[in-house]
Each structure stands twice: as C-alpha cells, then as structure tokens.
Structure 1
Amino acid sequence: MRASSEISQPGATDPAHWIALGRLGDRIVAVALDAKADETTRVDLAPPEVAAWVRRRESPSLRWVWSDTPTWYADLLAEGVRVARCHDLRLCHAILRTPGGDGAPGDPSMSRAWDAAAVEVPATAPALFEIEAAATRPSLPEDIEDVLTEFRRQRAAVEAAENPGAIRLLVAAESAGALVAAELRAAGLPWDEAAHDEILTDVLGERDADGVPAKLEDAARRVRIALSDPSASLDSPPKLLRALHRVGVMVDSTSKWELSEHRHPVIEPLLEYKKLSRLQSANGWAWLDEWVHDGRFRPVYMPGGVVTGRWASSGGGALQLPRQLRGAVRADPGWLLVTADVAQLEPRVLAAMSADTALAAAARGRDLYAGIVETGAVPSRADAKIAMLGAMYGATTGDSGRLVPRLRRTFPRAMGLVDAAAATGEGGGVVSTWLGRRSPPPPPEWQAVQARASEPDAAAADETRARRWARDRGRFTRNFIVQGTAAEWALAWMADLRGRLAALPEVGAADAASRSGPVFATRPHLAFFLHDEVIVHVPAAHAERAADAVRDAAATAGRLLFGDFPIDFPLDLRVSRIADKG
C-alpha cells in the first residue's frame, strides 16, 4: 500500500522526527525528539514567541506532538502558521487505551488523567451511533513531562499492537483529522447571511412584531383547530400526546414516522408545524446571529466524537445542516466551491473489507444499488438499498428481513463479515475496524442483564430482556466495523486532499478571501466536511485543479486502506458558486 504524504508515519531511518510542545509554569517548552523518541534538545519559550518559533522549525517531515490540537493549533493558525503533521495525544489515547487495562508497559490505560479523551458509552447500544462529544473540552495534562511520558507510552502501545502498521496509520490519520477540523473552523464556510434570511422568510414566512414567523404560526393555528384546543401546547411532547389521545390519535410518540401512520385532520398540519419548528429552532434567525459572522459559518467539529470514529459537532450543528439552507453557502467573489460526496461509501467499504469481489463488481464504475439489481439478487434499486442498509444495521423485520437473505446468497463474503461481527457483539465480544479501532466492551448493566438471564430462577422476562439487549449489541457491532472503517477512509481522503490543496499556488490577496483567515485567505482550502462529503473553497483559476485533487485523493485513500483490491469510490462532484447548484 502507498501512504499519502500527509498521514505517513516517520520511520526509524527517516531524518524527520518529532517536537513535543508542553508547559512548564507560565512558559512553553519545546522538546525535539529523535527517531526513538529520545530527547535531543529543549527550548524554553514565552507564549508570544511560540508561533514565530514553530514557523521557523516547521517542515513537511516533522510531526508536532501536543495534548490537544484545538488548544495548540488555533493560536498558530490565527498567527498565520500552518503545520503539515501532528500527533494528537488526546485522540490517540482514546484509540490506544485498553478499557480496564492491566497496567502493562505501554498500556495507555495506566494514565487515567488522559481518559477524559474517551467517549463514554451508555448501556443501550443503538444510541452509540449518535453520541456527540461534550461541548466543553476536557482538562488534559499539558505539563511537558506529562506530554513526553504519554507520547512514549503511546508509541510503545502502537508497537505492541497486533498489527502495528495499521494502528500507526490510524493514529496518524486521526491526528491529521484534528488538523483538518481546526482549519475548517479557522477558514470557515462561506455563508451569505442575506440568502439565509431570504430562505427562512420564504419557508417560514415573515416575522411579526414578536418574531414569530407567519407560516409557523398558521400551522400551529390549524393544529389547534384540529385538536379543538386553542391553547394546546405543541412544543411539549407529553402535553401534545395527551391532546392527540383526546381526539383519538393513539400514538406512543410524536415522531414523524408514527404520526404518518394515522389518518386524522391534525396529522398534516402537525407534521408541517414540526418541520417548520425544527428549522426555526435549529437553524433559524437566532442560529444565524450566533454562528455566522463576517460571511463565515465556523462550527466546532469534534473528530472521533462518536465511538465508531465518526466526527461529531459540539457547536453550530454542522453535521445536521439541512439541505434547504445549502443555497446560503456561496463562494467569495472570484472564488468557487468544489463540492464532492461519495456514492454508497459504507457498502463499498464493506465490499473491500470482506474482499467480496462479487459486491465490488456490482459497484464498479456505477451506482452500487443498480449493480446489485443486475445480479438478480433483488428486483429494484429501492429493494437493493433497503436490503443493504438492513444487512449493515441488522434489520430483521419488514422488507429488510425479507430481502437480506437474498444478499447472503449473492454476496456471502460481505454478509458473512457483518453477520460474524453481530455474533461477536451478541456474545459480549469486541470488534475492530479495518485499521484497528476497537468497539467499547459491553457496559456493566449489559453484563448484569445477561448474567441474570442465566441464573436458575430467571424469569421469562429476564430471558427476553437479555435476548433483546444481545440483539441490540449485535446490531451495534455489525455496523461498527463498517461505519468505523468508512470514517477511516474519509480521514485518509481529507488528509491526502489537504496536502494536495496546500501544494496548489496561492493567488493575490483579496479582501473577500481574507475572511478565511491569514493561512487560507489566498489559497484553496477545505471549508466543510460531513461524513462522506467535502466542500473546497478555491480561487476560480484553480477550480479544475482542485477538483482533480479531490478525485485523486479519493483514489489514493482507497489504495492506502485496501491496496489493490478492485473497489472504486466514485464522487458526485460539482464546481459552482452556490453549494446547492450543479
């Protein structure tokens, strides 16, 4: 496999080594380390000296070691300093630590102070896919000696791993992702506030003197008429449920899917109200005032914020941005946006992980779901999508339950891989992504439920509960390996793309572009990321080269993770001034 320059790890013969940054009192200490992580030189700096010193020492072959990328890198970016590589101790500790570790040398679990880096896991498995990191950043050790000790401990843990090469690539990619996240916030996503206001007014209606949009108020009025209750509370689920029950709509929740199954005059206006209310509360005028300034939306990304390795957001809601607001994403004058998303990323990753050549062939050069239909496994594209999602998420009822067995017959290697992961999870075991990120072990509550079901006096309810929890965990581990590996591919894609964009020529300074900050005011840069999609903000003169960089980086990411296995990752790529325009 060929590693990209941005996430390759320095080897023992590489002249590039590391520089660790930490604190000693009110001073900053920089410690240069050789290939064995032995100290060679130490420099004492006042905080105002750090950016200039880093600028002088920075080189593409050097990796900076620090406790937490946002803590250190944000200030450097504000001073116009970009670094090529880092080792983020917080994120790497979360990957390398062994829950309940035995304290063996090299086991990062020995260092409990760094466990703030880890995502806490609730007892119920399905919620694991939606975990987001806390809005407040953990307080981590920044003393230089603590930094050096943890770095050496992590290096020892990597070398002691079952597959050191894969883990080495994973921690390098995770650290590169931390740099990308900080740069996305520093550069910001170009955002037209007037266009956003126009979209809100068109969808929600003009606001009255109290700030209430007309269309939202009208939907609320029609709901209350249908409920025969002019004072009905529509924003309190318990009160709304009681009001619905009074008119004969016997639902257990106010979810869109459950409401849609009922026929009653209240359903249509209530669904409309919920849709408009969601836009108003999540991305309305208050959101615009808080998160968009000087033509930029700067969310707070949290790499590794979900246990699978997917990113989360702790501010701004970038990962839940509604498509109807894409029209507000507009390039600066003289610049364009390159928007690219990967078609069916997770099923393609599954094909490569399992070495299922039949599934890879169905995906090659075309829509994967259409390719599945051509194999004769299912009759329609809609069936293919339902079946594949059911296989990856463990759906056993309805259309998924009917269609998944057909996939097992046609793609036995791919289905066998996720079925085996599910069986491991149901038994309380731990699974790993392609590069070695481990799923969390089942929590004590889960273990207790399983143990209770095995006792001689266990009731039927105990056994039912244990089976349900086991199946829930099996669904979690089934998808963990696929979603986590897809996240690794996306990290490799962004890391390689980041380096390719940095190599493109700068353009002359422009007032509009200066809103992207001192590092990115005159050069192409990543501006947005959402699981399998990126947006690049690029001077118009370099738009085609940037588009080629996006495509080439996707191909490189596939080779980096899966070698010569014949799977492709086609992109839906658009170059435009407005993000929602082709």
Structure 2
Amino acid sequence: MEIVVAEESDGVRLTVLTDGVAPAASLVPTEELPARVAELEAASHPRWVWSDTAATYARLLRAGVRVERCFDLRLCRTILRRALDAPPPSDLWDGAEEPEDRPDAPPTLFATFTLPAEEVLAERLRQREAVAASAQRGRLATLLAAESAGALIAAEMRHDGLPWSRAAHDRLLTEALGPRPLPGARPPVLEALAEEVRTTLAAPALNPDSGPALLRALHGAGIAVQTTRKWELEHVDHPVVAPLLEYKRLARLHSANGWAWAEEWVRPGPTGAGRERFHPDYVPGGVVTGRWATRGGGALQLPKQVRGAVVADPGWRLVVADVAQLEPRVLAAMARDEAMARAARGGDLYQGLVDQGVIETRAQAKVAMLGALYGATTGPAGELAPRLLRAFPRATAVVEGAAMRGEVGGTVRTWLGRTSPLPPPEWKAVQDRQHEGGATDEDRRRARRLARDWGRFTRNFVVQGTAAEWALCWLADLRARLRVLGGDGGAGRSPHLVFFLHDEVIVHTPAALAEEVAEAVRESAAGAGRLLFGDFPVDFPLDVSLVDTYADAT
C-alpha cells in the first residue's frame, strides 16, 4: 500500500493507493499530520509518497515520527527523465528548488517545494506507468527504491547529527594552529608560516591567501609555475615550497573545519547525551553519477586532523566500516569477469593482481586499475594498461565500450539504469564544426580532445554510478537491520547511522549492541552484493572498527 502526501491550502491530503482499488483520499489538518502518519505507520507500514523527502520528512522527524519506506518523486523523476528518454508531461517540477531546511529552521511542516495535490498524485501514477513500460523495470524499480531510501537516511542523519566533542575539536585545532585568534586574524602558526613565505620570496606585503598575488611572488622569485596547486608545487626545488604547502594545508583546516565552522555547524545534542552534534547537510543524488553531495559543512571532506572530535556518547560506541576497493569490485561484477573477481576475493584486490602474476608490484597494480577506471592513456598507467586488457578482457571491455560511446556523444547506463547526460550543446557544436568546410587543424584537435574528455566521463560514469547504487543498497539494508536491532526507539536509544562517505559508514550504537551492529554492517554489504549481482562470486570485504572516537578507526 502507498499513501501519497500532498499539501493543500486547508491541510494535507493523504491518498491511499492500493492495487486494483480506487484511490481513497482524506484531508488531515497540518498540525495533526505527524500523529496521523505515526498511526498509519504502526498499523500498516505503507510506502509514503511525497514530492520531496527533504521538505517533508525532516518535519516529521522533529515531531518524533519516523517511517520505514518512502518514494521521493523529485529524485525519482530526475532518474526517469534520463533513463527512459520520455519525461512525464508536467513541467511544474522543473522549477523546484532545494528546500531550506536547516536543523534550526522554524518547525513548519512544508518549506518551499509544494505542488497541487492532484499533480503529486498524477506524477506518482505517471512514474508507475513509466517503470512498468521499461524493458529493465526490475532494475529501475530497485534503483528508485534505493534512491528514496537514501533520502530517508540523509534526512535522519541530518536530524540526529554526528556526535561531536567541541572540547576535543578545540584541542586539536590549538595543537595544529595555536590558540584561537581574534576575528579576522590568522592563528599564530599560520601567521608564522605566512611570514616565512614572505621572507623567502622577498615579498613583505604578500597575502598568501591571494592566488594571483602568490603566483606573481613565485614568478618574481624565478619559480616558473602555472598554478599554485599542490601537485605542481611539489615538483619545484625551492626553499619556499615546504612552508608554503604547510601553510596551504593548515589554512584549509582553519577555513573548512576551524572554530568558525564549529559555531555554525555544531550544536547541543539530545538532553543527557553528553556530546554536541555536527549536522551534515547531505544532498542525495547531488552528483550526476548518483553520488551524494553536501550543501555545506563539508561532511564529505571531514579531514583526519579533526576526526578525533567525533566521539561517542557515554555508554555508546562508534562502528566504523569501509569497503575495500569498491569500484574495481563493482566493475568485475558488472562485467561478469570471474578472473578479476578471483583476484579481489578475500581482501586486497591490488595484491591479488600481483599474486596472479598480472603486475609485479601492488603500487603498479593500483596505478593500472585507477588508470583503467579513469581513462589514463599515458605515463605508467598507460604502459600497464595492456596487461589488464590481457588478464581481464571482460572488465576492460565494459569501460572501453563506455568510453567509445561517450566519445561519439552517446549515453551510458549504470547497472540499475541511471543514465548519463548528453554532452552539452557547446560540445556538439565543436564536433560539428570539425566536419564543416574550412575547419582548421586547431578545430579538429579541440574536437578530438573534447571527445576524449567526454569518453573519460562516460567510462567512469558506469562504474562510479554502479558503486553508488551498491552503497545505497548497503545503506538501505543496514538501516532496516538497525531498526530491528534497536526496536526503532529513535536516535536517543537505538543504533543509528550518523555518517556516510561514498564507501564508508559510521553507526552510533549503545555499547551493548556494538558487536551485533558490526555483524549487521557486514551482512548488509553482502546483501547489497547479492541484490545487485545475484550469485556472481564477487565479495565486498569490510574493514570494521569498534571505537570510541573516529580517529581510532583503522
């Protein structure tokens, strides 16, 4: 059973959809919706259908209401428009904005993304019909369910927050940067490094935070670099390089995760928790491949320098898990390449390549595999590529085929059916121009370069996108297992997901349940592999740590 939730001027309309039965609608006063949702959830565990999880579920969470399943029409519409090349007819959805729904926002029920109730219902029916007509409806339905489950998880992690010790954070910052400076000033360690850079470059007025000014100062000192990026500076033999790179590293820490960041993103936790909370602002499907993004706070770039501030509440523990070499394993499964799956079995895939005699060293194996995934054709990766081609022809054929489709402007699909976008109009214009009379050699070179670039994008899209699908299924299965373990008592009493980074999760759990949670994490990873790839013999081994602080995870 599905229940469609849609706002109206005089309340919220709930429409029950049951196969073979005409829709039945009722109007609930806005202020009574959480109680009504809780009642229906307990009675029948329906799948809730709404326009936007971020605009609806967060409000239910504030009222203490959690649901098991949902269908996010906005996220699913985005997938279907590309996957089926037949977007539903209504354009009311196209102007939808991301809802402003910070944890400290006013406790209203709906924020910005509202549509007429009849349109929300019509959209759900259109999406049902579109999936039913698809040649790959089973896989596509799995993708839409996983994407919607991810939206629930993102909202819950944002609401619950990541346990954070402000005192530990301050100590880590002070150790790295010196005491907290006055507003607008640099911390003492940064200022000392800035002065060392100025002295070494004989540029007493230099502001090292200004890229153009720094580049001019480097040129003035006879250092011929095109940018001030780390990868280029590392190849320069000059005494300014060491203090400059250290300055850039610490300046990034200060700006991205310093004291000002904590004031904005870290707030008191639940009463009696003993820890504050960092509330990550995740955006499910925020990257075209299906990977998540963030709207702020840097949840996907939490540096090692501050992980010691992620501390479990008293009587609780953190279960930290990450999967080893996810994308190559996914590629082996997609391609049904049993030789590559054997190399990955049980642990380190890169060492497996060495043990099979494909490549001499683990370092070479990593370079070769990443080159295959990202389309490196020169340097060490390009030299090693033929060995992978001979050893794993099925796997390399998948990425090579995806690259060739991209180079001619075609689209590619992930395992479950997420479809890549077409190249932008400017790309096609450049390709067309090379075939016109009067095209110059430079026109043709540019067209070939852009074609290769788009081929690299589609090459990686199929693998990164499928890895994102595996991760969503892992999260969804784990969330269901945690609900069983904890009796869905909410974040204050039950184990719950608090952090996600592509192939890594953190669960905050009562200490007594930590071992069971660790086993649930492993079982969920295996379950995600079976759901996507059936009985194909590829495994997804995890590194799992039971710790009091994130910094202690292996």
Q: Aligned partners of 1:450, 1:466: CA distance in 2, in Å?
A: 5
Among candidates 419, 424, 428, match of residue 400 of structure 2: 419
Q: Aligned partners of 1:99, 1:411: CA distance in 2, in Å?
A: 29
Please give the secondary structure, in 2, of the residue aligned with 1:108.
coil
Among candidates 31, 34, 50, match of residue 66 of structure 1: 50
Q: Please list every run of at least 4 consecutive aligned residues from structure 1 whose deviation after the TM superposition is greater than 6 angstroms.
A: 133-138
How do 1:439-458 residues align onto structure 2 when only pairs under 5 Å count?
439-458=420-439
Is residue 301 of structure 1 aligned with residue 282 of structure 2?
A: yes
**Partners of 1:29 and 1:42 within 8 A in 2:** yes
Is residue 519 of structure 1 aligned with residue 497 of structure 2?
A: no
**Using a 3 Å threshold, how does the CA distance of structure 1 residues 99 and 57 change in structure 2: closer, same or farther?**
closer
**Using a 3 Å threshold, how does the CA distance of structure 1 residues 268 and 391 change in structure 2: closer, same or farther?**
same
Cα displacement string for residues 299-339 of structure 1 (whole angstroms, at most 9, x for unaligned residues): 11000000000000002110011022111111000000000
Q: Which amino acid aligns with 2:124?
A: F
Offset at residue 136 of structure 1 (A): 8.8
Q: Which residue does 2:37 correspond to in 1? A: 54
Cα displacement string for residues 281-306 of structure 1 (whole angstroms, at most 9, x for unaligned residues): 11011001110111100011000000
Q: Aligned partners of 1:134, 1:539: CA distance in 2, in Å?
A: 33
Q: Aligned partners of 2:332, 2:314: CA distance in 1, in Å?
A: 42
Cα displacement string for residues 413-438 of structure 1 (whole angstroms, at most 9, x for unaligned residues): 10111000000000100000000000
Among candidates 360, 365, 370, match of residue 384 of structure 1: 365
Q: Which residue does 1:108 correspond to in 2? A: 87
**Partners of 2:88 and 2:126 within 8 A in 1:** no
Q: Which residue does 1:23 correspond to in 2? A: 7
Among candidates 275, 298, 301, match of residue 320 of structure 1: 301
Q: Which residue does 2:390 correspond to in 1? A: 409
Cα displacement string for residues 196-225 of structure 1 (whole angstroms, at most 9, x for unaligned residues): 111111111123455521111111000000
Q: Which amino acid aligns with 2:115?
A: E
Percent sequence identity is: 57
Is residue 97 of structure 1 aligned with residue 76 of structure 2?
A: no
Please give the secondary structure, in 2, of the residue aligned with 1:580.
helix
Q: Aligned partners of 2:387, 2:166: CA distance in 1, in Å?
A: 49
Q: Aligned partners of 1:61, 1:467: CA distance in 2, in Å?
A: 54
Cα displacement string for residues 367-395 of structure 1 (whole angstroms, at most 9, x for unaligned residues): 00000111211111111011000000001
Please give the secondary structure, in 1, of the residue aligned with 2:536.
coil
**Using a 3 Å threshold, how does the CA distance of structure 1 residues 558 and 301 change in structure 2: closer, same or farther?**
same
Offset at residue 108 of structure 1 (A): 2.9
Q: Which residue does 2:537 correspond to in 1? A: 566
Is residue 577 of structure 1 aligned with residue 548 of structure 2?
A: yes
Please give the secondary structure, in 2, of the residue aligned with 1:519.
coil
**Partners of 1:184 and 1:526 within 8 A in 2:** yes
Q: Which amino acid aligns with 1:175?
A: S
Is residue 544 of structure 1 aligned with residue 523 of structure 2?
A: no
Among candidates 33, 43, 46, match of residue 17 of structure 2: 33
Q: For CA contacts below 8 A with separation 6 or more, give which structure has more relative contact order.
A: 1
Offset at residue 193 of structure 1 (A): 0.6
Please give the secondary structure, in 2, of the residue aligned with 1:535.
strand
Is residue 177 of structure 1 aligned with residue 158 of structure 2?
A: no
Offset at residue 113 of structure 1 (A): 2.3
Q: Which amino acid aligns with 1:187?
A: D
**Partners of 2:317 and 2:508 within 8 A in 1:** yes
Q: Aligned partners of 1:134, 1:430: CA distance in 2, in Å?
A: 30
Among candidates 268, 284, 288, match of residue 242 of structure 2: 268
Q: Aligned partners of 1:135, 1:267: CA distance in 2, in Å?
A: 42
Count of residues paired in the alignment: 536
Q: Aligned partners of 1:99, 1:337: CA distance in 2, in Å?
A: 38
Q: Aligned partners of 1:192, 1:90: CA distance in 2, in Å?
A: 36
Q: Which amino acid aligns with 1:41?
A: A
How do 1:206-225 residues align onto structure 2 when only pairs under 5 Å count?
206-209=179-182, 211-225=185-199
Q: Aligned partners of 2:437, 2:482: CA distance in 1, in Å?
A: 64
Among candidates 449, 458, 474, match of residue 477 of structure 1: 458
Offset at residue 144 of structure 1 (A): 0.9
Q: Which residue does 1:83 correspond to in 2? A: 67
TM-score by length of 2: 0.94
Please give the secondary structure, in 1, of the residue aligned with 2:6.
strand
Q: Aligned partners of 2:460, 2:100: CA distance in 1, in Å?
A: 26
**Partners of 2:54 and 2:101 within 8 A in 1:** no
Please give the secondary structure, in 2, of the residue aligned with 1:245.
helix
Q: Which residue does 1:438 correspond to in 2? A: 419
Among candidates 212, 215, 219, match of residue 238 of structure 1: 212
**Using a 3 Å threshold, how does the CA distance of structure 1 residues 66 and 320 change in structure 2: closer, same or farther?**
same
Q: Aligned partners of 1:98, 1:293: CA distance in 2, in Å?
A: 39
Deviates more, 1:139-148 or 1:422-431: 139-148
Please give the secondary structure, in 1, of the residue aligned with 2:223.
coil
Q: Aligned partners of 2:544, 2:95: CA distance in 1, in Å?
A: 38
**Using a 3 Å threshold, how does the CA distance of structure 1 residues 139 and 74 change in structure 2: closer, same or farther?**
closer
Please give the secondary structure, in 2, of the residue aligned with 1:41.
strand
Q: Which amino acid aligns with 1:156?
A: E
Q: Which residue does 2:105 correspond to in 1? A: none
Please give the secondary structure, in 1, of the residue aligned with 2:49.
strand
Q: Which residue does 2:116 correspond to in 1? A: 143
Q: Aligned partners of 1:528, 1:23: CA distance in 2, in Å?
A: 31
Q: CA RMSD in A?
A: 1.8
Q: Aligned partners of 2:504, 2:469: CA distance in 1, in Å?
A: 14
Unmatched runs of 5 consecutive residues or more in structure 1: 1-16, 102-106, 119-132, 508-517
Is residue 45 of structure 1 aligned with residue 28 of structure 2?
A: yes
Q: Which amino acid aligns with 2:128?
A: R
Please give the secondary structure, in 2, of the residue aligned with 1:536.
strand
Among candidates 368, 374, 379, match of residue 393 of structure 1: 374
Q: Which residue does 2:272 correspond to in 1? A: none
Offset at residue 134 of structure 1 (A): 9.8
Unmatched runs of 5 consecutive residues or more in structure 2: 103-110, 269-275
**Partners of 2:150 and 2:284 within 8 A in 1:** yes
TM-score by length of 1: 0.89
Q: Aligned partners of 1:108, 1:152: CA distance in 2, in Å?
A: 13
**Using a 3 Å threshold, how does the CA distance of structure 1 residues 218 and 28 change in structure 2: closer, same or farther?**
same
Among candidates 436, 440, 445, match of residue 459 of structure 1: 440
Offset at residue 40 of structure 1 (A): 3.0
Offset at residue 56 of structure 1 (A): 0.5
Among candidates 334, 337, 344, match of residue 356 of structure 1: 337
**Using a 3 Å threshold, how does the CA distance of structure 1 residues 407 and 99 change in structure 2: closer, same or farther?**
closer
Q: Aligned partners of 1:92, 1:405: CA distance in 2, in Å?
A: 40
Offset at residue 39 of structure 1 (A): 4.1
**Partners of 1:93 and 1:115 within 8 A in 2:** no
Q: Which residue does 1:124 correspond to in 2? A: none
